[in-house]
Every structure is written in C-alpha cells, then in structure tokens.
Amino acid sequence: MGEGDGADSAPKKPQSDAVTAGATTSSGDVPAKKLARQLDFTGFGATTSGSVALPEPPKPQLQTVTVPQSQPKPQVVGVPVPVPPQPPVPSVRPVKPDSPKSRPRPNVDGKDGTPKKQKQCNCKHSRCLKLYCECFASGIYCDGCNCVNCCNNVENEGARRDAVEATLERNPNAFRPKIASSPHGPRDSREEAGELVVLAKHNKGCHCKKSGCLKKYCECFQANILCSENCKCIDCKNFEGSEERQALFHGDHSNNMAYLQQAANAAITGAIGSSGYISSPPVSKKRKGQELFFGQTGKDPSAHRIGQFPQANHLRPPAPSSSSVPVARLGTAGLGPSKFTYRSLLADIIQPQDLKELCSVLVVVAEEAAKTLADRKNAAEKQAEYQTEASLATTTEDRLQSQKESDTQKAVTDDCSTANQADKISPEDSNSDGVDGPKGRPMSPGTLALMCDEQDTMFMSAASPNRLMGDGCNTSSQLPNGQGMSEVYAEQERIVLAKFRGCLNMLITRGELKEAECSSLARSEAAAQREQVGNGTPNPRTETGSQQGPISNGVAKTAVPPTARTSQIVTAAVLSPSTVLPKPPSVPENGGNKPKA
DNA sequence: GAGTTTGAAACT
DNA sequence: CAGTTTCAAACTC
C-alpha cells in the first residue's frame, strides 16, 4: 500500500487532472446537466436517483442548513451544496450529514469535547476534488483545511463544478447521504457513544475486511449504525448481539475512548469472548476472507473464528428483525447483522388493550362532562325560558337535543382533523365506520375522535378499507349550528385532555423508572462480563444463548413487568392523575424482547 | 508527529 | 464487474 506511493511527489496524478480535465472533457457535452443540478438530498434515502444531486455552487443563500435541531447529529437531509466557506454551522452540517466520514471528527470531537470547527481535510493529491476529500464529499468548500493545492473553493469554482459533475457521472448518488436514517436515528452524541442507533442503515454497506467493523475505518461503525445486509464485510462484529460490539459500548467506559479502542482491538483479535477466537491466535493476519467461511456450527473448535461470516452470509435471517432472535450467536446466520430495532422503553408497558382502555375511560369522562355541562346549561336555559313561555320550553329542549345531534355529526367531521392529536395514542387513523356516537348524546368532537380510536383499536383487525375515509373523519356531515354546544365541547375537551395528560405523565414516570432499571442492570451486567473476560474465564459466549447479553436493543432485560399492568396504570392515571404508580409486578417478562436462552 | 493500516473511491 | 491502484482518514508507536 503505502509503498510506491511516494505520496509525495506528484508524479502521477493523472487523476487529479483528470478530474478537471476529465470533467472538461465530459463537460464538453455537459450541456444537458449544467451545473445547475440541484441537490435534493431531501428525500434522504428515498429518492435515489431522480434529480441528480449536485453540489451546487455556493449560493450563499442556498445552503440548506437543515433543521437546526439541537441535536448534534445532523439528521440531515443535507445537501451537498457547497457551502461557501462557511462558518461552522453550529450543529448541523449542511451536508452529507451522515456520511460517516464527515461526521465524527467534525464538530464534536470528543477528544476534548471542544466543539470543533467543521472539519478540516488534509488532502494532498486530490485537490479536494474527489470524494476522498471529506469536504468535497460533504458538499462544502474547504475552509481552514490543511489541504494542499485545494480547488474546493470559490476561486476554483469552475474546476470544482467539473469535478462534481464527473463524480456524479460516476455515481449519481455520490453526494447523497450514505446512511439511510430512520426515525430512530441517532439522536445525540450521548446515544452515539452508547449504542442505540440502530435503525439507520448504510445504503451501500461497508466492505471491511480487517477491522471487524468495529473501527472507524468502517463507515457503518463510524456512523454508529449496525452493519446491514447491504454490507459485504468480512468477519463483521458490528451487529446486534455482538459481544465485541457490546464490549465496546457498555460499561462505564463508555466515555473512555481508550478503553473502547482497546476493547475493539481485543475483539478484533479475538481476545474477547466469542466463539473460538482463542483457538486461533491472531488468525487474522492471514485470513483472506475465505478462511472464514462458516463451516460451522460445528464443533470444530479449531475452526477459525467463524464467529462472523462475511456479511454476505448472514444475509439476514429470515427472521424478522430482532425480536425474538435467540441469540445463538454462532449462527450469525440466524441473526443477521443488524436489523434490529430499537424498542422504546415503553414498548412493553403500553399494550393495545391499554389504549383501548384509555380511550374508554376518556370517553366516559367526556360523556360525563358533557352530560353534566349540558344539563347545567339546559337547566339554565329552561329556567330562563320558562319564565317567558312555559310551553316553549319543551320545544326548546327538543330543539336543543336535535341540535346536539347534528352537532355531533358535525363534530365528527371537523374534529377529526383537529382531534388528530388525540391520535397520538394510536397512530392509526382514527375512526372506523359507524362511529358516530350514541345518538342523542352530545359529544364533543374530541370525544368522538376518541371513540373512533377506541373502535379502531378494538377492531383493528376488522379494519376495512373504508376506514380511512370512513365516515368518521369525513366531511360528510354538516353542522347546522353548533354554537350551543361549543362551550360544552370546550369544557369536555379540557377535562379529557387533563385526564389524558395525567395518563401521559404516568407513562413518563414509568418510562423513567424502567430506564433507570435498565441502565443500572446493563451496567452491572457489563461490569460482570468484563470481569469475566478479565479473569480469563472461559468465554461466556462460547455457546449459544448463554451469552445473551442482558441487553437487547438497548433495553435491558430486567424484571420489568410490562404487560398487563398498564391497564391499571392507565386507568389509574386517568382517573386520578395523581395516583401513585402501581408497583411493577415482577412478572416474568419479555421485556428485553430477547428470549432468555 | 511519523509511519502504518484500512477501506472507500477511482481507475483499468 | 472484478481486480488494482490511489487516497486520506484512522490508528499505532
């Protein structure tokens, strides 16, 4: 590798020139795609081809600095728009946010924690016009870098443009984020340090051979994501359940880079558990990939760490993501690298039936509120009218009644939109058919919406296509004059929301508790594990499930209770927000979602 | 800080 | 498309 390079001189560097030159050449006919191609990284993973994304020249105003979320990790949808010598954008880089490459060092640089400026490349031969250059790859101009002969700047816009085109020609997605993020993507550096980021996936996948995908050489690892079926790495250890990986992340050492690195090295060389690593010394060195074919399962202790197969092999387990993956790690085959999902701490706490129950409770509350208020109001009106004309009083009442009814319908209509918030509980759309509430009873839109949800939940399975457009939200009904009830609705909503809030608070509390439990458990387990390793104790992992870490998806398996309890919680919460949390039962649990071996 | 290793990008 | 070379970052000493 580094040999002939002579990294120094510029003997051969046809390429750099090629870039420009080539570009020129190609540009000869570039008419079509002028440089004006816009980068539309927006779609993030989704849109892959379509418009070619091309780092547009520095249009100052153009930079799409994405969402200044406070999160350190730019979730961007960046745009390789060459941002002119840009002042380091605080936390969000305009581009290729996820490019593993660009990410890590840039700003945060854990080293001293000092927020660092963007990032500075050190290119010498590429003139910063190739993807080798992080700046270029990120779509930004070099600014304050240590590069030599840099052309990635305003002064050389022309060359740069050509280079961009050339690059795009080779790979239209060159400037797109490499990591397909997900809603659960990385969120903050802390999580990054730990492990959590799991859902994201490298679009192209890595091709690591020696790093075990546990070093920053690996784009996946660098991006803090697990290797996926897109990867073609060999001897991958960056998958869920990987002890090596866990060793890297867990433990109080999470913050200690040195420790992490050490752990990584150990893992790579086989020092850390894992199958038969021990047997074959540094097997590595030689292993040219082929050696590791899994022959496996076998018992051949001498078999070289088969632990991991080339990704290609673990091409995913048919098994759905993670969940019950029993981790017999040997079979990564069955496990697949990654593909597991992050589970919310509340995952086990909230059950479908709980939602149902919650909805029911809220509906009841709403009904009662409505009834009370309505009665009150009616009474008042009646009284007023009574004095004037007794006979009319009755009519009024009827009228009111019918009014309510019509309002009810209307409610369903206009509220669905607003009431969507209520959906939060159940992501599904609200309503199912026939939802309209009990006739004759005044119900606020919110209530109706709740009921819709309830039904949804209850009859989810029976869902019919109609549902989506179903009457529920549909604008089919009209509202004559809903005036009368508006106050009632308001009051009703207020009450319901208050109750609901109480419930949410309860859940939050629960979540926090669980989190605490999980983390402490994870910590202790990690410590124990470490200790074991340190003692030279036989590898825990040697076999099958035993190794199952206490953690799965970041959720430790504890004696948490989930299930059933929730109902009580929910109900209690709704009924009396101030209620104390029921004590978590010590139910067996499936919390970690990983079966215990 | 120099030298080595690594894997992506570029090239053939 | 596979193999090789080039490159710059990551890593080690």
A7 touches strand C (CB under 7 A): yes
User: Does residue A2 sit within a domain?
Assistant: no
A28 touches strand C (CB under 7 A): no
| Highest mean pLDDT of the ranges A111-115, A212-216, A519-523, A568-572 | A212-216
CA pair distance A195, A340, nearest whole angstrom: 12
Q: Which residue has the tokens 């730990």?
A: A194
Q: Which residue has the tokens 């090295």?
A: A265
Res. A588: pLDDT tops 70: no
> Which residues have CB under 8 Å from A137's CB, separation 6+?
A80, A96, A99, A101, A102, A131, A174, A175
The residue ranking higher by pLDDT, A354 or A450, is A354
The answer to whether residues A451 and A420 belong to one domain is: yes
Given this model, what pLDDT does residue A4 score? 34
Domain boundary (A275, A306, A335) is at A335
Given this model, what pLDDT does residue A133 score? 92
User: Does residue A128 sit within a domain?
Assistant: yes
List the A319 CA – C9 C1' distance (angstroms): 36
Res. A493: pLDDT tops 70: yes
Where residue A329 falls among pLDDT bands split at 50, 70, 90? Answer: very low
A222 touches strand C (CB under 7 A): yes
The answer to whether residues A56 and A167 belong to one domain is: yes
User: Does residue A5 sit within a domain?
Assistant: no
The answer to whether residues A485 and A398 belong to one domain is: yes
The answer to whether residues A154 and A193 belong to one domain is: no
pLDDT in tens, A279-326: 333 333 333 333 333 333 333 333 333 334 444 444 443 333 333 333
Backbone angles phi, psi at A584, to 5 degrees: -60, 130
CA pair distance A32, A30, nearest whole angstrom: 5
CA pair distance A466, A508, nearest whole angstrom: 35
Given this model, what pLDDT does residue A504 score? 78
A253 touches strand C (CB under 7 A): no
User: Does residue A458 sit within a domain?
Assistant: yes
The answer to whether residues A380 and A509 belong to one domain is: yes
Cβ(A437)–Cβ(A364) below 8 Å = no
User: What does pLDDT average to over chain A?
Assistant: 53
Q: Which of A355-364, A426-435, A448-457, A499-508 is least confident?
A: A426-435
The answer to whether residues A216 and A275 belong to one domain is: yes
The answer to whether residues A164 and A217 belong to one domain is: no
The answer to whether residues A380 and A302 belong to one domain is: no
List the A11 CA – C3 C1' distance (angstroms): 23
A269 touches strand C (CB under 7 A): no
Residue A593: count of CB within 10 angstroms of its CB: 20
Res. A171: pLDDT tops 70: yes
Who touches strand B, with Cβ under 7 Å?
A: A 1-2, 14-15, 18-19, 22, 130-132, 137, 166-167, 170-171, 174, 178, 204, 206-211, 213, 215, 217-219
What average pLDDT does this structure show over A12-31?
34
What average pLDDT does this structure show over A242-267?
65
Given this model, what pLDDT does residue A75 score? 36
List the A141 CA – C10 C1' distance (angstroms): 23
List the A5 CA – B3 C1' distance (angstroms): 13
Given this model, what pLDDT does residue A129 score? 92
Give percent of chain A above pLDDT 90.
3
Cβ(A550)–Cβ(A592) below 8 Å = yes
List the A62 CA – B2 C1' distance (angstroms): 41
The residue ranking higher by pLDDT, A337 or A264, is A264
Given this model, what pLDDT does residue A118 score? 63
Q: Which of A119-123, A180-184, A187-191 is least confident?
A: A187-191
Q: Any idea what the Cα angle at residue A62 is, between residues A60 and A67, rounded to 5°?
A: 115
User: Does residue A9 sit within a domain?
Assistant: no
Given this model, what pLDDT does residue A86 score? 41
The answer to whether residues A150 and A276 belong to one domain is: no
Given this model, what pLDDT does residue A123 score? 92
Nearest to A369 by CA among A502, A487, A480, A454: A487
User: Does residue A503 sit within a domain?
Assistant: yes
Task: Look at residue A201 and give its three-state secondary structure.
Answer: strand
Res. A12: pLDDT tops 60: no
Nucleotides, chain C, CB distance < 7 Å: 6-12
The answer to whether residues A213 and A115 belong to one domain is: no
Domain that residue A25 falls in: 14-177
Eight-state DSSP code of residue A343: -
**Quick one: which H or E segment has residue A166?**
helix A157-170
User: Does residue A182 sit within a domain?
Assistant: no
Where residue A62 falls among pLDDT bands split at 50, 70, 90? Answer: very low
User: Does residue A7 sit within a domain?
Assistant: no
Where residue A128 falls among pLDDT bands split at 50, 70, 90? Answer: very high
The residue ranking higher by pLDDT, A91 or A55, is A55
A124 touches strand C (CB under 7 A): yes
What average pLDDT does this structure show over A420-431?
39
CA pair distance A167, A133, nearest whole angstrom: 12
A36 touches strand C (CB under 7 A): no
Given this model, what pLDDT does residue A130 score? 92
Given this model, what pLDDT does residue A486 score? 65
List the A69 CA – B12 C1' distance (angstroms): 45
Q: Which nucleotide is nearest to A102 (CA to C1')?
A: C9
| Highest mean pLDDT of the ranges A94-103, A249-258, A378-387 | A378-387
A336 touches strand C (CB under 7 A): no
What average pLDDT does this structure show over A81-100?
39
| Highest mean pLDDT of the ranges A113-122, A179-188, A288-297, A419-428 | A113-122
What average pLDDT does this structure show over A426-450?
40
A116 touches strand C (CB under 7 A): no
A259 touches strand C (CB under 7 A): no
The answer to whether residues A170 and A230 belong to one domain is: no
Q: How many domains does chain A have?
A: 3
| Highest mean pLDDT of the ranges A5-19, A38-52, A250-264, A362-376 | A362-376
Res. A505: pLDDT tops 60: yes
| Residue A194 structure tokens | 């730990």
The answer to whether residues A138 and A218 belong to one domain is: no
Given this model, what pLDDT does residue A260 score? 63
